[in-house]
Amino acid sequence: MSLNEISVATVKGIGPTLLEKLQASHIHTVADLLESYPNRYDSYDIIDLNLAKHEEKITIAGQIVVPATNSFYGRQQSKTQFSIAIGDAIIKVIIFNRAFLKNKLVMEAPVTVTGKWDLSRKLMTATTLKLGIHDDDGIVPAYRLSHDLTSKTFQKMLHTAYTHYHRQINDDLPQHLIERYRLISAADAIKFAHFPENNEQVKQAARRIKYEELLKFQLKLHVLKKKIKYTKTGFSKEADDEKIQHFMNQLPFELTTEQHRVLKEITTDLKDAARMNRLLQGDVGSGKTVVAAIALLFTITAGYQGAIMAPTEILAKQHLTALTNMFACLPDYRLAFLSSNIKGKKRRDLLAELAAGQIHLLVGTHSLIQEEVIFSQLGLAVIDEQHRFGVDQRKKLRQKGEAIDILMMSATPIPRTLAISAFGDMDVSSIKELPLGRKPIQTFVIGDTKLADAQKFIKEQILDKGQQVYIITPLIDESEVLEDLRHATLVYELWKDAFKNIATVGLMHGKLEKSEKDEIMHDFAENNIQILISTTVIEVGVNVPNANLILIYDANRFGLSQLHQLRGRVGRGTEHAYCILLSNATNAEAKERLGVIAASNDGFEIAEADLKLRGPGDFFGSKQSGLPTFKMANLIEDYKILDVARQDAYEIMASDEFQHNPDFLPLRDYVTRTIANENHQFD
């Protein structure tokens, strides 16, 4: 029996309580357990400071030269600061919520500090602090665990499982590929990934595991795409060209060449009997909505219903307003809006009319995928900000009709090369230029020393022009939501103070309830709040045309694409728009990256540069991009391996080998099994 058929319950020491926790983390089989790789490795080996890279997590040791001081803020939050000497260098250390250590952190005390290294500021933000010098802990894998599983328990389970089952770890890769790339065996890869003795083992494990994951992914895409191409199970739609022409004539603008081009790609799909599965990507403001509107009209005139789903009520309402205006010239077609706020009789009536086919276009939120929502004949479903929806949610929408066409939209431009390998089972249309007449947003990069000048400028904008302002505070990684909040709160206090009697300052962050967030956003849209301090939770598609200035703290910590996204909040009105990037980074790489943003307003260009420079905190690396995720590989960071895997997959599929050579049997089984089990696009 293979390890993906053996329950984790067979592992010694895993009783009912642990089993439940594991299952909640989607770990069911021994294979699932062994393939739950660390999300990072912490090194507690003391390193030479001169070799440390910016933002790297490192351990250093030295003697205290400036004793600790505590500062307190918020509810029981504290920050302790001190400095240590290492050779000639003096390093400042910050640690949160360890105020009790102050009395030990005295002059000349030796300490070992582990944390994130800020090269330009010569600053350590510590996560671990030990008194004395400790250089004996080696490499420690860190796991992203939930449901109060501790790393220690998890490691123990892994060890028991590995010891008992390692002989049954099969090598899915054919021998010739293992040899071609000098890969270590599957069993060794698992051993080195979980119990490494040195960095080289970590590296070899990663090379092997990532290659295998990406090769399997590419093979799967090939098979899926073939399957899709040869199944013409959709409906071919015959539209009423006259009505579409009429609709286009009454638009207040001409479509751009790019809009015409992608529209053609979409309508060709709609006419074809194969089901459409297309991603429409384009910068914020590139005019995707009108393209979607025409595709929906096309579908409606062909006798089907249309639907458009957005991730939040605010976005859905924005679509409703835009679509209602556009469809005003065709009063025979009925639009309706559905969200969780539509209740009682109104909701019942709407659902009845929808099921009877009396509503032609339904606009709304997640509510659209509820079971009670039944269409009479849905032909096209549009999903805006598609990456904000889970695979299951997208699948539910697909199942609202028989063989419906799907159009997904995204404002995160992804370079074409990457889009092909990431979304191999999807076709991609890209709008590459903004409509004419848009004023480019002027972008400045400044250091903290210029913050006072920036505030003066912002005061003028608010007082003289009645403008509103976004202030974005640092992005730390997901696991550090609390720290994000801490920064945002500090910044909020600062601006509230500086703008007393001048402007109302609001604060928005990830710990707020959804209703609270909506309320603050609403207040901002209504100009009850002039300065909105926010973490990156701020909505991607939100439109507040009176906000024409955005200031981003610690801009060097963001990925380029994310900076571009954030900048897209402004420049939506008629006024001149500005983006101020605060950064104290002095290293050449950070300067180059911010230079790209300052010089370009083109999302695709920026995405390409992002891909090449791939700085820390890269946007594509995170969940928000909607790219597929893997157990270890990352499409961006590992794009070189991805390239190799793509070519290998192509080669394998082009010959008969894959179907007939027994060497490929494990891979073949894998592909067949996962395609059968997963919620892929054509379920």
Contacting positions for Mg ion (CB under 5 A): 541
Min CB(626)–ligand ADP separation in Å: 16
Query: Reduced to 3 states, what is the DSSP secondary structure of residue 481?
Result: helix
Report the partner that residue 286 touches, choosing among Mg ion, ligand ADP, none (CB closer than 5 to 8 A by kind): ligand ADP
In terms of CB distance, is 414 or 485 closer to ligand ADP?
414
In terms of CB distance, is 321 or 679 closer to ligand ADP?
321
**Does 545 contact ligand ADP by CB under 6 A?**
no
In terms of CB distance, is 503 or 550 closer to ligand ADP?
550
**Does 67 contact ligand ADP by CB under 6 A?**
no
Name the one range near ligand ADP by CB under 6 A: 187-195, 212-220, 253-261, 667-675.
253-261
Closest CA to 321 of 306, 308, 305: 308
Report the partner that residue 287 touches, choosing among Mg ion, ligand ADP, none (CB closer than 5 to 8 A by kind): ligand ADP
Min CB(533)–Mg ion separation in Å: 25
- Are the C-beta atoms of 105 and 80 separated by less than 8 Å? yes
Q: How many residues bind ligand ADP (CB under 6 A)?
A: 15
Task: Please give the structure tokens belonging to residue 529.
Answer: 């709040």
**Does 557 contact ligand ADP by CB under 6 A?**
no
Q: Are strands 305-309 and 378-383 parallel, antiparallel or unpaired?
A: parallel
**Does 295 contact ligand ADP by CB under 6 A?**
no
Q: What is the DSSP letter of 661?
A: -
Fill in the amino acid letter for 574.
T
Query: Reduced to 3 states, what is the DSSP secondary structure of residue 260?
Result: helix
**Does 562 contact ligand ADP by CB under 6 A?**
no
**Does 284 contact ligand ADP by CB under 6 A?**
yes
Phi-psi region of 74 (alpha: psi -120 to 50; beta: other; left: phi over 0): left
Contacts of 2 (CB under 8 A, 6+ apart): 31, 168, 170
CA dihedral 263, 268, 273, 277 (to 10 degrees): -40
- CA 632 vs. chain centroid, Å, equals 16
Min CB(538)–Mg ion separation in Å: 15
Measure the CA–CA gap between 46 and 520, rounded to whole angstroms.
46
Report the partner that residue 474 touches, choosing among Mg ion, ligand ADP, none (CB closer than 5 to 8 A by kind): none
Residue labelled with tokens 């400042």: 92
What value, to the nearest 5°, has the Cα angle with vertex 491 and ends 485 and 497? 135
Min CB(318)–ligand ADP separation in Å: 8
Q: Which residues of 108-142 are buried (b: 16+ CB within 10 A; e: fewer)?
A: eeebbbbbbbbbeeebbbbeebeeeebeebebebe
Contacts of 566 (CB under 8 A, 6+ apart): 470, 472, 536, 538, 550, 552, 558
**Does 571 contact ligand ADP by CB under 6 A?**
no
In terms of CB distance, is 223 or 293 closer to ligand ADP?
293
Min CB(328)–ligand ADP separation in Å: 14
Residue labelled with tokens 């051993």: 191
Evaluated on CA atoms 293, 295, 299, 301, the torsion sign reads: positive
In terms of CB distance, is 244 or 255 closer to ligand ADP?
255
Min CB(542)–Mg ion separation in Å: 10
Report the partner that residue 424 touches, choosing among Mg ion, ligand ADP, none (CB closer than 5 to 8 A by kind): none
Residue labelled with tokens 């469809």: 327
Min CB(541)–Mg ion separation in Å: 5
Name the one range near ligand ADP by CB under 6 A: 249-257, 396-404, 548-556, 640-648.
249-257
Which of 297, 408, 411, 532 touches ligand ADP by CB under 6 A? 411
Min CB(319)–Mg ion separation in Å: 8
Q: Are strands 57-73 and 110-118 parallel, antiparallel or unpaired?
A: antiparallel
**Does 414 contact ligand ADP by CB under 6 A?**
no
Could you tell me which residues are beta bridge partners of residue 335?
361
**Does 565 contact ligand ADP by CB under 6 A?**
no
Min CB(586)–ligand ADP separation in Å: 35
Closest residue to Mg ion using C-beta atoms: 541
In terms of CB distance, is 282 or 379 closer to ligand ADP?
282
In terms of CB distance, is 237 or 572 closer to Mg ion?
572
Helices (H) and strands (E) in the chain, counts: 22, 20
The 3-class secondary structure across 347-410, one letter per residue, is HHHHHHHHHCCCCCEEEECHHHHCCCCCCCCEEEEEECCHHHCCHHHHHHHHCCCCCCEEEEEE
Name the one range near ligand ADP by CB under 6 A: 154-162, 248-256, 413-421, 628-636.
248-256
Evaluated on CA atoms 513, 517, 522, 527, the torsion sign reads: positive
**Does 264 contact ligand ADP by CB under 6 A?**
no
In terms of CB distance, is 541 or 616 closer to Mg ion?
541
Q: Are strands 57-73 and 77-86 parallel, antiparallel or unpaired?
A: antiparallel
**Does 429 contact ligand ADP by CB under 6 A?**
no
- Are the C-beta atoms of 250 and 398 separated by less than 8 Å? no
Which of 85, 119, 255, 644 touches ligand ADP by CB under 6 A? 255
Could you tell me which residues are beta bridge partners of residue 337?
363
In terms of CB distance, is 437 or 662 closer to ligand ADP?
437
Which of 62, 141, 196, 282 touches ligand ADP by CB under 6 A? 282
Q: What is the DSSP letter of 600?
A: -
Phi, psi values for residue 120, rounded to 5° = -70, -35
Report the partner that residue 603 touches, choosing among ligand ADP, Mg ion, none (CB closer than 5 to 8 A by kind): none
Min CB(411)–ligand ADP separation in Å: 6
- Measured N-to-C along each axis, helices 639-654 and 199-229 cross at an angle, to the nearest 10 degrees, of 50
For the beta carbon of residue 342, count every other beta carbon within 10 angstroms: 17
Question: x/- site string to ligand ADP, residues 365 to 394, per CB under 6 A?
Answer: ------------------------------
**Does 289 contact ligand ADP by CB under 6 A?**
yes
**Does 573 contact ligand ADP by CB under 6 A?**
no
Fill in the amino acid letter for 628.
P
Measure the CA–CA gap between 384 and 199, rounded to whole angstroms.
43
**Does 461 contact ligand ADP by CB under 6 A?**
no
In terms of CB distance, is 286 or 562 closer to ligand ADP?
286
In terms of CB distance, is 34 or 335 closer to ligand ADP?
335
Report the partner that residue 435 touches, choosing among Mg ion, ligand ADP, none (CB closer than 5 to 8 A by kind): ligand ADP
Give the end-to-end CA distance of the chain in Å, rounded to a whole number. 28
Q: What is the DSSP letter of 46?
A: B
In terms of CB distance, is 288 or 646 closer to ligand ADP?
288
Min CB(409)–ligand ADP separation in Å: 7
For binding to ligand ADP (CB under 6 A), which residues are involved?
A: 253-256, 259, 282, 284-290, 411, 435
